[in-house]
């Protein structure tokens, strides 16, 4: 048969593929790469990709484990017990939270996977998911794939970037089954208090809503303040789970390893879903993740101190150029108000074109992100200062 006898038919995607949200930042990434390719010295503070390497003892643990034939075989479904025990130990040590490793910890291929999975295991079409706005766009992806409806919870500066539960309408509350929270917050960098989580547990109990606390930046708190885990709150395990990733705490973003911890029925459902999609992560990655969780935590403290020094250097420089901004209490992001008359996208474009500085426009995180840009503290202090100086030369403040 020759080519002419085969007629190509269009590939027709499933309806759900059309529901997926547009990747807002793809265009910015493309334009950034184009400027770099043209030879410009671009300072890229637009992404959330940790710039520092994983600690050597974790890399060595992977190297050793990779040579061990035990890990060349299929790992157990739902992951090795030693890893789940290591997670439970970390939560006990850091937050005084008791977790049963067998039933209250699920191993994930990175937090992103779990954040999409939770919508698949809990939401039906017609259900509502409460989503922070501005917020991390992967929540939208999971809700869209489940065919459920998002109701945005505005995070406003005058309310400390916390959702106002009493502003959510009755009808939405009746249909709401799931809610995402994320503190320390991406993109606003706000940090939650214990009393906010106590209010959250009461709200979730009253309305039968599952809380998904995304604790991706849990290890990064400044000025001696340790961010609170949602699971520290009495009653939290009855209403929800927490996602904890190795990506930020241990600079292991490329390793793809994270956990869901908390409510055992939700953990069971996550594991059930994953049993149909994956065998677990490469065993050597699990061994290295366990080494990270149970080994010395000095590198975590040092990382936090590095981000704090970067924050201080950057905000000092911003003050010098006259940009009135509040330093973040946690996460590795700065959430900065855009000067008039720019929109967040127009301001980000201006910085890219005129200063070769990349920042993420707030509108990409939701309607209430308009008026801000997000800056990642993911470059050395000198580069952050230089970014501020280049912005200063535009004489906008």
Ligand X SMILES: Cc1ncc(COP(=O)(O)O)c(C=O)c1O
Q: Identify the three-state secondary structure at position 176.
A: strand
Residue 48 C-beta: closest distance to ligand X, Å: 4
Site mask, ligand X, residues 285-324, x = CB under 6 A? ----------------------------------------
The CA distance from 357 to 361, in Å, is: 12
**112 or 311: CB nearest ligand X:** 112
Between 182 and 229, CB nearer to ligand X: 182
- For residue 96, give the nearest of 223, 257, 198, 234 by alpha carbon: 234
Who contacts 390 (Cβ-Cβ below 8 Å, separation ≥6)? Answer: 43, 355, 356, 357
Residue 258 contacts ligand X per CB under 6 A? yes
Site size for ligand X, by CB under 6 A? Answer: 13
Separation of alpha carbons 166 and 205, rounded Å: 15
Three-state SS annotation for 178-200 = EEEECCCCCCCCCCCCHHHHHHH
Alpha carbon distance 359, 229 (integer Å): 29
Site for ligand X in 154-183 (CB under 6 A): 182
Least distance to ligand X, CB of residue 254, Å: 9
Residues facing 180 on adjacent strands: 212
CA-based nearest residue to 325, from 377, 383, 378: 377
Binding-site member from 189, 247, 274, 280 for ligand X (CB under 6 A): 247
Stretch of residues binding ligand X (CB under 6 A), selected from 106-114, 116-124, 155-163, 169-177: 106-114
The nearer residue to ligand X, 114 or 207, going by C-beta atoms, is 114
- Alpha helices, DSSP H, located in 213-358: 236-239, 246-249, 264-275, 283-294, 298-320, 344-350
What is the x/- site pattern for ligand X, positions 31-70, by CB under 6 A? -----------------x----------------------
Q: How far is the CB of 375 from ligand X (least distance, A)?
A: 14
Q: State which residue has the least CB distance to ligand X.
A: 111
Pairing mode of beta strands 360-361, 372-376: antiparallel
Please tell me whether residue 214 binds ligand X under the rule CB under 6 A: yes
Using alpha carbons, select from 248, 224, 213, 226 the residue that is nearest to residue 96. 226
Minimum CB distance to ligand X smaller for 58 or for 388: 58
Quick one: which of 32, 44, 54, 186 contacts ligand X (CB under 6 A)?
Answer: 186
**Binding residues vs ligand X (CB under 6 A):** 48, 110-112, 136, 182, 186, 214, 216, 245, 247, 253, 258
């Amino acid at each position: 048969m020759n080519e002419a006898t085969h007629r190509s038919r269009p590939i027709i995607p499933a309806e759900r593929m059309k529901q997926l949200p547009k990747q807002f930042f793809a265009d910015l990434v493309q334009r950034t790469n184009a400027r770099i390719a043209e030879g410009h010295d671009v300072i890229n503070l637009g992404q959330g990709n940790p710039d520092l390497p994983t600690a050597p003892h974790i890399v060595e643990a992977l190297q050793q484990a990779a040579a061990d034939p035990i890990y060349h075989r299929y790992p157990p479904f739902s992951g090795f017990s030693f890893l789940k025990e290591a997670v439970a130990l970390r939560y006990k040590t850091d937050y005084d939270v008791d977790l049963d490793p067998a039933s209250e910890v699920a191993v994930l291929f990175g937090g992103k996977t779990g954040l999409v999975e939770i919508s698949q295991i809990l939401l039906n079409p017609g259900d509502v998911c409460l989503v922070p706005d501005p917020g991390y766009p992967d929540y939208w992806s999971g809700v869209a794939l489940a065919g459920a409806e998002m109701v945005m919870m505005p995070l406003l500066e005058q309310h400390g970037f916390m959702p106002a539960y009493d502003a959510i309408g009755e009808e939405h509350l009746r249909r709401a089954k799931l809610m995402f929270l994320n503190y320390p917050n991406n993109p606003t960098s706000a940090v939650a208090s214990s009393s906010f989580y106590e209010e959250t547990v009461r709200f979730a109990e009253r309305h039968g809503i599952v809380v998904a606390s995304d604790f991706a930046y849990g290890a990064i708190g400044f000025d001696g303040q340790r961010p609170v885990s949602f699971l520290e709150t009495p009653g939290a395990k009855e209403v929800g789970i927490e996602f904890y990733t190795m990506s930020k705490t241990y600079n292991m973003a490329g390793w793809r390893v994270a956990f869901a911890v908390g409510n055992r029925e939700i953990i069971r459902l996550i594991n059930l879903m994953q049993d149909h999609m994956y065998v677990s992560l490469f065993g050597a990655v699990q061994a290295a993740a366990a080494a990270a969780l149970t080994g010395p935590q000095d590198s975590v403290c040092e990382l936090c101190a590095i981000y704090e020094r970067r924050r201080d250097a950057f905000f000092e420089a911003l003050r010098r150029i006259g940009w009135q901004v509040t330093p973040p209490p946690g996460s590795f992001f700065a959430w900065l108000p855009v000067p008039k008359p720019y929109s967040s996208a127009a301001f980000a474009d201006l910085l890219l074109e005129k200063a070769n500085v990349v920042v993420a426009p707030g509108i990409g995180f939701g309607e209430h992100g308009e008026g801000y840009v997000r800056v990642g503290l993911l470059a050395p202090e000198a580069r952050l200062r230089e970014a501020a100086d280049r912005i200063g030369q535009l004489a906008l403040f």
